[in-house]
Structure 1
């Protein structure tokens, strides 16, 4: 795996992790609530992450995509692609706003600060980052990822090792946990929950992954990076799921389980975990506002920087609605968009799996002439 593959893998992971992994609460709702069978659901999500990451990064590299809308037009056609682009952009902006609210909630819970302070600090960081060039943004996101992995792995492995509940007690606690609802009803099976998890998070990761893939002229390296990033996300979700299950007797009703696990080890570790959560939220917020702004202006231009600042400041105002309310409103509908994306990506793979990169690149050039 060369430098490009490694960079794509880290950036893919860093964008997705903040939107779907940060608090640990999402893991409990999508997987741990099904008991030990939830581990199988997380394996389903891992396989989907790897497959989807591979194909998105590959076709983006072949097209030399500058934004996610070019890839959408290839997957859906021009008219349907425009509709999906507008809908996806709207919900991605909602996720970005949710991340600003999440920063405020995290700092409020750990340090007692007013939520507006945390949201404002995150907004300033996002605007400053989006004023960098694309490579700078990717390098910054990639640099954050190792710290996040170390923190999450350390807390999760230690919590598994120190688990005191019996399997029967943990299963009983898991049965009391809230299970994710979709279109007003509880999801009845762990496999379907794994599919929904992947659909939600690929919708979050798709725009930045499309841009990152488009920066390399080596489709095979891009595809390898997508696979590696997807498997990394899968490994992390499997480990987190096991960690949450091993401590379910102590996590029922806890809003941010990962922070609770860290606090049980040592208060100073909880402080570091809070920083890690902020870094996760930051990575996702940058990815969301970047993708939304790229919809209206070419990255690295003054117009792009100005629009990024305006969108982030408007997002700051909207974030005061509250983190929980925003997530509850935006995420279910984003999952629907993600399911549509998964179907389109699978159909694209079936159409192109026997064609060479050169043939696909030639077709792409012909379509844009």
Structure 2
């Protein structure tokens, strides 16, 4: 096993999943924070599912030596079925763009007192300029953003523990029904994130050996599980005040003060920006030879539609949209796994 490549695969898995919704704390709260102490049970289950689903998806890419998720869906579902799959994937990517635009507007409104529209438009213009100019290097920015994000999350968690904030006590309520809902939420959360990561995980698996796939998937899943648990514990410590904000981790950053607050907010915004740029590139992929002007028109139209939808509010988009995407991803993933198993039996 090439240890360095396996470690890079684990980091890539983490970087693919850790987007702005994750970093903001809103996504963690909606999927796990509402279930009090049972939220940690949900995170433990989610970690196992992220490892298993991620390993299966990368192994699928390895077996088929697929350069993109479209090659896998075409092999599994045929030309007609893959068109439906691609359409669903693009729809989910658009939904995430709506969340990113809303998240940017709320982050800059809550922390810098900017008008919501100004913060959202500022972020959209930055993303539009990037994809129009074709500067794809920004897509590798997670190599810097993710370690910074992990560091800030750990700093916030340590600060909360050392401060003995009273909100943590109130969060340790245990109810059986919370545990049931938290486990269901774990399934949707894992499926949602792995489903939207197909475009990265499938070609990544094609470049790895079997041992590297196992280490990359399970190492990445464990890293994600630790970050989820620390963010949840931090939100509980700052409850209920943090839960009143659209971007709860922005409120936490404000409590840290000084340069830590400024740097944390910069990283949060960078997560929004990089996620928005990545999704825009995916939407523009059918137009690889289009002129810069045409790409600008298409990207501008998509962003304008996303801005209109973002007026529903960041928390509402995450609360209702992300679970829906989880159900769609769950169906797609298990359909993909089942179809590949049938293909293997046919060959034998």
TM range (shorter): 0.7 to 0.9
User: 2:181 is matched with which residue?
Assistant: 189
Query: Of the candidates 298, 305, 308, which is equivalent to residue 318 of structure 1?
Result: 305
CA distance in 1, matches of 2:208, 2:112: 45
Correspondence 1:227 to 2:227: no
Cα offset, 1:195, TM superposition = 0.9
- The 8 Å contact of residues 126 and 285 in structure 1, kept in 2 or not, is answered as yes
CA contact (8 A) 2:42 2:179 kept: no
Quickly say closer, same or farther: Cα 1:86–1:233, change in 2 above 3 A: same
Note if contact 1:151-1:273 (Cα within 8 Å) is conserved in structure 2. yes
Structure 2 CA distance for aligned equivalents of residues 208 and 8 of structure 1: 10
Q: 1:192 to 1:137 in 2, by over 3 A?
A: same
**Is this contact kept in 2: 1:88–1:334, CA < 8 A?**
no
Change (3 A) 1:351 1:133: farther
1:200 matches 2:187? no
2:102 equivalent to 1:101: yes
Contact residue 13 and residue 201 of structure 2 kept, 8 A: yes
Deviates more, 1:226-235 or 1:273-282: 226-235
Deviations 1:120-144, CA, capped at 9 Å, x for gaps? 443344345545586x455333232
Question: Kindly tell me: are residues 225 and 126 of structure 1, through their superposed partners in 2, closer, same or farther at Cα, counting changes over 3 Å?
Answer: farther
Tell me how far 1:33 sits from its aligned partner.
Answer: 2.0
Does the residue aligned with 1:201 lie in a helix, a strand or coil?
helix
Query: Residues 64 and 310 of structure 1: is their aligned pair in 2 closer, same or farther, counting only changes over 3 Å?
Result: farther
**Taking structure 1 as reference, are residues 217 and 34 closer, same or farther at Cα in structure 2, changes over 3 Å only?**
closer
The answer as to 2:63 corresponding to 1:58 is no
1:203–1:338 contact (8 Å) kept in structure 2: yes
What's the offset of the Cα at 1:162? 1.8
In the alignment, what sits opposite 1:169?
Answer: 170
1:331 aligns with 2:331: no
**Alignment-derived partner of residue 283 in structure 1:** 274
Contact 2:76 2:340 in 1 (8 A): no
Give the aligned CA root-mean-square deviation in angstroms.
3.4
Asked if the contact 2:195/2:329 (under 8 Å) is kept, the reply is yes
1:343 Cα deviation from its structure 2 partner: 1.9
Distance 2:204 2:296 in 1: 22
> TM (normalized to structure 2)?
0.82
Q: Which moved more, 1:22-31 or 1:316-325?
A: 316-325
Q: CA deviation at 1:86?
A: 0.9
**Distance change >3 Å, CA 96–CA 169, structure 1 → 2:** closer
Q: CA deviation at 1:202?
A: 2.1
State how far apart, in whole Å, the 2-side matches of 1:65 and 1:310 are: 31
Within a 5 Å distance, the mapping from 1:29-178 to structure 2 comes to 29-127=30-128, 129-130=130-131, 136=137, 138-165=139-166, 169-171=170-172
User: In 2, are the aligned partners of 1:20 and 1:201 still within 8 Å (CA)?
Assistant: no
Distance 2:64 2:341 in 1: 18
Q: Name structure 1 gaps, 5 residues minimum.
A: 180-185, 356-362, 364-369
The one-character-per-residue Cα deviations of 1:144-163 (angstroms, maximum 9, x if unpaired) are 22111111221123213323
Pairwise CA distance, 1:53: 1.7
Give the TM-score, by structure 1 length.
Answer: 0.78
Contact 2:98-2:306 at 8 Å conserved across structures:
yes
1:257 pairs with 2:248: yes
2:285 aligned with 1:303: no
Kept in 2: contact 1:207–1:291 (CA 8 A): no
Structure 2 CA distance for partners of 1:234 and 1:169, relative to 1, 3 Å: closer
CA contact (8 A) 1:262 1:273 kept: yes
CA distance in 2, matches of 1:71, 1:137: 27
